[in-house]
Amino acid sequence: MSSTVNKTAHAFDKVRLDALLNRRFFYAPAFEIYGGVAGLYDYGPPGSSLQANLIAEWRKHFIIEEHMLELDTTIMTPAPVFETSGHVARFADWMVKDTKTGDVLRADHLVKNVLEARLAGDKEARGLAAAPVTDDKKKKKKGAKAAAVQLSDEVVKEYETILAQLDNFSGPELGELCRKHKLTNPDTGNEVGEPQQFNLMFLSSIGPTGQHPGYLRPETAQGHFLNFSRLLEFNNGKVPFASAQIGRSFRNEISPRAGLLRVREFTMAEIEHYVDPEDKRHERFHEVRDVVLVLLDRHVQEAGSSTTSRLTVGEAVEKGVIANETLGYFIARIYLFLLKIGINPERLRFRQHMGNEMAHYATDCWDAEIHNATGWTECVGCADRAAYDLSVHSAKTGHPLVVRQALKEPILTEKEVSEWNKKNLGKTFKQDAALIQSLVESMDEPELLRIKGELAQGAAIIKSEDGREFQLTPDVLTVERKTLKQSIREYTPNVIEPSFGLGRILYTLLEHSFWSREQDVERGVLSLPPLVAPTKVLIVPLSARDEFNPLVQEVSSKLRKAGVFSRVDDSNTSIGKRYARNDELGTPFGVTLDFASVQNRTMTLRERDTMDQRIGSIDDVIATVTELVFGNIDWAEACTRLPAYDGVQAID
């Protein structure tokens, strides 16, 4: 037993972590007994609980804290919606086919994998220590040749520049890169064909006739936009406000191989914050002004570099690095959320999209990227979609998706206005009356002034498109200057969209939480914060004997009443093994019930990371562990309340 913890005694080992997550059923390939399907994963009990806890905290941090309007819209979406939104035409990735086997690869991934492998081979040839990243081993297995071949300095520089700008290349450019640098399918060594676009949406058909194509949504966002009028009304017509939705989305990825980091079905949490395009300040910006962020802006990347800078959100907005307060506010709130659930801030950065990389609907976008064994991975996007979506749906359906704002001060404008004597108009021009009226009413101010002048002279001449001339006299038409009062301003709001991929966050969190005991690399631990840990307290009776049952029931029931989720492990194995299993499950605290508990009503409390054990009365331990779980006290504080346990049983 020791309270000094060295979490970095062993280098991070992805193979070991993946084995743990599989063994403890955090998640596993879906349909595994049928051979599995790439990019589809099932979450087992600990994974489901972890996900549910992340969602609960997300709901608190965003929806409840900011009074967002929650939605739950359908996944199945009729095709016209995505035709309008641009997804049918443009929500696609570039794929290349192996010219011999017909295997399909994502073009940008091919470029990345082969160039990275060549750079690694170059480092090896130069005798430089290549970081021993587990993932590289896997790539080798898959066939990416990392032969120790030295490259010229120019080539190294060129490859590095390509990799820094990778997300910015078009399909034809990727094809050009493949030809120029002789990039072949690493699995077979065969050449690949020209990049072709592959739409990432799953297609199906709604109803029994087969006549109504539908797509599975690739994002929840359209469900928000289509309901904008109802949401605005629910919010009593006031802007800014936000809608939020947590739900499943689908992307038919070309060749997903990266575990939870690239999947075909995933849970998203999306916010659409509607804001006046002329005023993107945020009333709570002062609360986050001093949050320090690591930023990688588009200019740096476009210059071929990956050098980040450290700025407060306030500075970033002032300098125009981040475009406006609302975008800055949400980037900071995303940062605070990720820290709260346990992401390591040293492995978190915000990267701005480059011009060509941006989704078709976005005008600016920052990704929260979390570092993991495969590199930096986008886990949250924060895009300014401007008025794109609301405008296109409104134009397509004729349903106005706008805000009508009562102006405090009406706007007064002076204008030339035509006034008709309808009776004379009809009598004089008969079936041409409507044509004449529309001709005049579509005139701009200078033209109207000309008419006004001519009328003052007695008569004005106008021409129709087909060349006919009509003579108007003051008994039919007068033009007068009038003062018009506009008391309503109508505008399409802009949308700031923070969009979370929960599976990616969950996986990177597991990586950041994983380490092995100094004395035994086989003893893995997941140091998940109590806030999100699947189980908060493990109840461990010395054995499954009946005499411990009443106490187990009592402790279990008292913890439940205190709102603390516990589990009992009375399996037929040593207490040490049971604790080791729960270290792998990330359970932060354990309590042990033994013969002393039966006799004296005492209970020991064990902390996962330090394996420290304390002892106290059952009720004291329950009170202490409850405060620990809710984050009111830390372990040091708990140690001042409960004495150390140095009992007879060697428990670890």
- When the beta carbons of 1 and 64 are compared against a second copy, the nearer one is 64
- For the record, the structure tokens of 195 come out as 């990049």
Question: CA 230 to CA 129: how far, in whole Å?
Answer: 59
Site for a second copy in 405-444 (CB under 8 A): none
Q: Does 292 bind a second copy (CB under 8 A)?
A: no
CB of 197 to a second copy, least distance (A): 11
Backbone angles phi, psi at 477, to 5 degrees: -135, 135
- For residue 113, which of 139, 87, 76, 77 has the smallest C-alpha distance? 139
CB of 538 to a second copy, least distance (A): 13
Task: Give the chain's largest Cα–Cα span.
Answer: 116
CB of 267 to a second copy, least distance (A): 8
Q: Does 265 bind a second copy (CB under 8 A)?
A: yes
Q: Does 120 bind a second copy (CB under 8 A)?
A: no
CB of 95 to a second copy, least distance (A): 6
**Cβ contact 334:498 at 8 Å:** yes
CB of 52 to a second copy, least distance (A): 7
- When the beta carbons of 83 and 416 are compared against a second copy, the nearer one is 83
Q: Does 393 bind a second copy (CB under 8 A)?
A: yes
Site for a second copy in 88-117 (CB under 8 A): 95, 102, 104
Q: Does 565 bind a second copy (CB under 8 A)?
A: yes
- The amino acid present at 450, given as its one-letter code, is R
CB of 574 to a second copy, least distance (A): 14
- For residue 228, which of 556, 590, 596, 491 has the smallest C-alpha distance? 491
- When the beta carbons of 65 and 318 are compared against a second copy, the nearer one is 65
User: Which residues make beta-bridge pairs with 420?
Assistant: 477
- For residue 364, which of 315, 336, 401, 331 has the smallest C-alpha distance? 331
DSSP 64: I
- For the record, the structure tokens of 318 come out as 């002032």
- For residue 347, which of 364, 332, 335 has the smallest C-alpha distance? 335
Q: Does residue 643 have a cis peptide bond before it, meaning omega lies within 30 degrees of 0?
A: no
- When the beta carbons of 198 and 429 are compared against a second copy, the nearer one is 198
Which helix (H) or strand (E) segment holds residue 495: the answer is strand 494-501
Q: Does 42 bind a second copy (CB under 8 A)?
A: yes
CB of 443 to a second copy, least distance (A): 34
Question: CA 332 to CA 623: how far, in whole Å?
Answer: 34
For a second copy, which residue of 13, 14, 49, 296 counts as binding (CB under 8 A)?
A: 49
- The amino acid present at 513, given as its one-letter code, is S
The terminus-to-terminus CA distance of the chain in angstroms comes to 7
Q: Does 560 bind a second copy (CB under 8 A)?
A: yes
For a second copy, which residue of 7, 18, 25, 435 counts as binding (CB under 8 A)?
A: 25
User: Which residues make beta-bridge pairs with 92?
Assistant: 199
Q: Does 31 bind a second copy (CB under 8 A)?
A: yes
The interface region with a second copy, picked from 260-268, 277-285, 336-344, 635-643 by CB under 8 A, is: 260-268
- When the beta carbons of 252 and 613 are compared against a second copy, the nearer one is 252
CB of 545 to a second copy, least distance (A): 16
- When the beta carbons of 206 and 443 are compared against a second copy, the nearer one is 206
Site for a second copy in 506-545 (CB under 8 A): none
The interface region with a second copy, picked from 24-32, 372-380, 487-495, 547-555 by CB under 8 A, is: 24-32
- When the beta carbons of 216 and 383 are compared against a second copy, the nearer one is 216
For a second copy, which residue of 12, 18, 37, 454 counts as binding (CB under 8 A)?
A: 37
- When the beta carbons of 73 and 421 are compared against a second copy, the nearer one is 73
- When the beta carbons of 23 and 427 are compared against a second copy, the nearer one is 23
Backbone angles phi, psi at 309, to 5 degrees: -130, 155
- For residue 92, which of 76, 111, 108 has the smallest C-alpha distance? 108
- When the beta carbons of 44 and 647 are compared against a second copy, the nearer one is 44
N residues, the chain: 652
Q: Does 500 bind a second copy (CB under 8 A)?
A: no
The interface region with a second copy, picked from 27-35, 172-180, 184-192, 328-336 by CB under 8 A, is: 27-35
SS3 (DSSP) at 533: coil
Tell me, residue by residue from 53 to 92, as one string, x for binding to a second copy by CB under 8 A and - for no binding.
Answer: -----------x--x-xxxxxxxxxx-xx-----------
For a second copy, which residue of 188, 190, 227, 610 counts as binding (CB under 8 A)?
A: 227
* Contact partners, residue 293, CB within 8 Å, separation at least 6: 310, 311, 312, 313, 316, 331, 332, 335, 350
Which helix (H) or strand (E) segment holds residue 521: the answer is strand 520-526
Question: In Å, how far are 163, 603, 616, 640 from 643, measured between CA atoms?
Answer: 56, 11, 7, 7
CB of 213 to a second copy, least distance (A): 11
